[in-house]
Amino acid sequence: MPQTDTGQTIKAIINGTAVILAIFAVSMLMPILGFFCSLLTPLPVLYYRIRLGRSTAVAVPMAALLLMGVVAGTLTLDLLFYFELLLLGFVLGDLLELNLPIEKTIGYACGITMFTGLIGMWVFTQAFQAGIVELITVYVSKNLDLTLELYRSMGMSEENLHMISNSRDAIGYTLVRIIPALCITSTIMISWTNLLLVRPFFKSRNIVVPEFGLLTLWKAPDWMVWGVIGCGVSMLLPLNAMKIIGLNGLIILTAIYFLGGIAIVSFYFEKKRFPRILRALLYSLIIFEQIALFLVIGLGFFDIWLNFRKIQLHKYN
pTM for the full model?
0.87
Which structural domain, as residue segments, surrounds residue 26?
A: 1-212
> CB-side exposure of 112: number of CA atoms within 13 Å?
18
Assign 32 a pLDDT band (cuts: 50, 70, 90): low
- Taking each helix axis from N to C end, the angle separating 158-166 and 168-177, rounded to the nearest 10 degrees, works out to 50
Tell me, yes or no, whether 197 and 234 share the same domain. no
Q: What is the pLDDT of residues 48-106, one digit of tens each?
A: 999 999 999 999 999 999 999 888 787 788 888 899 999 999 999 999 989 889 999 99
Tell me, yes or no, whether 192 and 257 share the same domain. no
Of the three residues 161, 186, 212, the one that is the final residue of a domain is 212
Tell me, yes or no, whether 105 and 166 share the same domain. yes
Tell me, yes or no, whether 161 and 87 share the same domain. yes
**Which pLDDT value is given to residue 112?**
95
Tell me, yes or no, whether 234 and 182 share the same domain. no
Tell me, yes or no, whether 68 and 203 share the same domain. yes
Average of per-residue pLDDT values in the chain:
87
Whole-angstrom distance, CA of residue 114 vs CA of residue 136:
15
CA distances 10 to 5, 16, 52, 217, 310, Å, are 9, 10, 10, 40, 50
Of the three residues 212, 233, 257, the one that is the final residue of a domain is 212
Tell me, yes or no, whether 184 and 228 share the same domain. no
Of the three residues 179, 212, 245, the one that is the final residue of a domain is 212
Tell me, yes or no, whether 227 and 185 share the same domain. no
Q: How many domains does the chain have?
A: 2
Tell me, yes or no, whether 86 and 222 share the same domain. no
Residues 53/37/106/275 CA torsion (nearest 10 deg): -100
Tell me, yes or no, whether 267 and 312 share the same domain. yes
DSSP string of 242-262?
A: HHHHHHHHHHHHHHHHHHHHH
Residues 6+ apart with CB under 8 A from 6: none
**Which pLDDT value is given to residue 113?**
95
Tell me, yes or no, whether 4 and 96 share the same domain. yes
Is the pLDDT at 31 greater than 70? The verdict is no
Tell me, yes or no, whether 31 and 169 share the same domain. yes
